[in-house]
Chain A
Amino acid sequence: MTSELIYICAGSGLVGLAFYRLATCRDMLLRVLSLNVLAVGIAILFLASARNAGMTDAVPQAFILTGIVVLVAVTAALLALAEQIDSQRDE
Chain B
Amino acid sequence: MPALKWVLYSLLLLSCYVLQTTPGLFEIFGKKPVLAAALAVCVSMYEGVLSSAFFSMMAGLLWDISSNRLFGFNGLILLCCGVLISLLCIYYLHTRWLNSLLFCTLAMLVQGLLDYLFYYAIWGYPGVSLILVQNILPTLLYTAAVTPLLFLLVRRIHRKFSVVERA
The answer to whether A and B interact is: no
Residues of A within 8 A of B (CB): none
